[in-house]
Amino acid sequence: MTGHLIGTRQAAWAAVLVLGLTSGGVIGGGVARADNGIDKLSAQQIADRSRDALLSARSLHLSARGTLGRGSPSTTLDLTLDRDGNCTGSVDLGRSQGSVRIVKRGNDIWVKPDADFWKNQVPNGGAAFAAILNGRYMKGSATDPRLRDVTDGCDLDTFQKLVRDHADNDRGTLNKGRKTTLDGAPVVPVTRLRDGRTQTLYVAATGKPYPLRITVRGGGANAVVGLSAFDKPVPTATPPPDQTYDINALLTRRTAPL
C-alpha cells in the first residue's frame, strides 16, 4: 500500500547518487586524518576510489533534499541504514503530500504515515486508516510484499548494488576542481556535465575517500545529497508495543479499504 510510493521516492534519489557516483566522485564522512593524496589523481581515479570507498561501507546516513525534474515535488529523505537491513528515518513527499516515518530492525518493520499522506496518497479510505491507527505505527514483516519497496529502500545492500550495476556508466565530461573545504573538512570536487545537468561530487581529501555530498543542478533538477556517519551503528530503538498496530489486523478491519 504505502510501500510502492515510498520506494519510488527512494529509488529516485538512489538514481541521483548512482548518476553521480559512477561518473564522478563524492566526499566522505567519518573522522578525517592523514592526507590521502587524491588531489594528485585524475578526476576518473578520484571517482573510482570514492565509489570503492562507498561500496566498502557497512552503514551510513543518507540525507537528500530537492527536486529531480521540472514539475516534480521537492522531496526530502533522511535515513540511516546498514547492510543487515536495519534502518531508521523519514521520507517527505513534498508539497504537503505527506511524510512517513520508517523503522526497520531485523525482520520487523514499522511505518507511520502522517495525516497528509493518508489524505493525498490513499484518498479512498485513507481517513479510515488514519483514524484506526490514531498516530501509531503500522508494524509488519520485512518479507510482506506490501512493504517490499520500503524494505528494499532501507537496505544498504540494495543501494550499493545500484552503484555496482552502474559502475561503467561514464557519459559526460568529467573535471577535477581545486582542493577546498566542506564543513571544515578538506575535499576535492569533481564535476560532470551530462544531459544538461551539472553534477558536483565532493570527495574527502583526508582519511578514506568516502563520498560526502553530491549536488545536481540544471535540466529541471536542483538537488543536494549528503552522506555521513559511515560505519556507525544504526540506532536500535524501535516503537513500543502500545504505539504499534499490526498491518494484517489493520487491513482486515471492515472500515479499511482492501
Q: How does pLDDT run across 195-237, given as a tens digit for each residue?
A: 788 889 999 999 999 989 999 898 888 889 999 999 999 999 9
pLDDT band at residue 189 using 50, 70 and 90 as cut-offs: very high
Residue 193 confidence (pLDDT) above 70: yes
Query: What backbone phi and psi angles, to 5 degrees, belong to 26?
Result: -145, 170
For the chain, what is the mean pLDDT? Answer: 82
pLDDT band at residue 168 using 50, 70 and 90 as cut-offs: low
CA distances (Å), origin 232, targets 48, 62, 93, 100, 128:
23, 12, 27, 23, 39
Q: What is the rounded distance in angstroms from the CA atom of residue 23 to the CA atom of residue 67?
A: 20
Q: Which set of grid coordinates corresponds to residue 119?
A: 489524505
For cell 524501535, what's the residue? 238
pLDDT band at residue 253 using 50, 70 and 90 as cut-offs: low
pLDDT band at residue 31 using 50, 70 and 90 as cut-offs: very low
Q: Could you give the percent of the chain with pLDDT greater than 70?
A: 82
Which amino acid, one-letter code, is at 86? N
What is the chain's Cα-based Rg?
19
Residue 17 confidence (pLDDT) above 80: no
What is the DSSP pairing of strand 244-246 with strand 137-141? parallel
Mean pLDDT of 9-36: 48
> What is the structure's pLDDT at 6?
47
Enter the DSSP assignment of 206.
B
Vertex 147: Cα angle to 141 and 153 (nearest 5): 105
pLDDT band at residue 23 using 50, 70 and 90 as cut-offs: very low
> What is the structure's pLDDT at 252?
75
For cell 503530500, what's the residue? 97
Cα torsion at 84, 6, 110, 229 (round to 10°)?
40
Q: How does pLDDT run across 79-98, given as a tens digit for each residue?
A: 999 999 899 999 888 888 88
Which of 16-25, 181-190, 192-201, 231-240 is predicted with the least confidence, judged by mean pLDDT? 16-25
Nearest to 21 by CA among 182, 200, 196, 154: 200
> What is the structure's pLDDT at 219?
84
Q: What is the rounded distance in angstroms from the CA atom of residue 187 to the CA atom of residue 257?
A: 51
Nearest to 87 by CA among 148, 143, 156, 140: 156
Could you tell me the domains of the chain? 3-251 (2.50.20.20)
Mean pLDDT of 69-82: 84
Enter the DSSP assignment of 209.
-
Instruction: Name the region of 157 (left: φ>0; alpha: ψ -120 to 50; beta: rest).
Output: alpha
> What is the structure's pLDDT at 170?
61
Q: Which set of grid coordinates corresponds to residue 79?
A: 535515513
> What is the structure's pLDDT at 19?
44
> What is the structure's pLDDT at 169?
62
Asked whether the beta carbons of 69 and 220 are under 8 A apart, the reply is yes
Residue 190 confidence (pLDDT) above 90: yes
Residue 12 confidence (pLDDT) above 90: no
> What is the structure's pLDDT at 32?
38
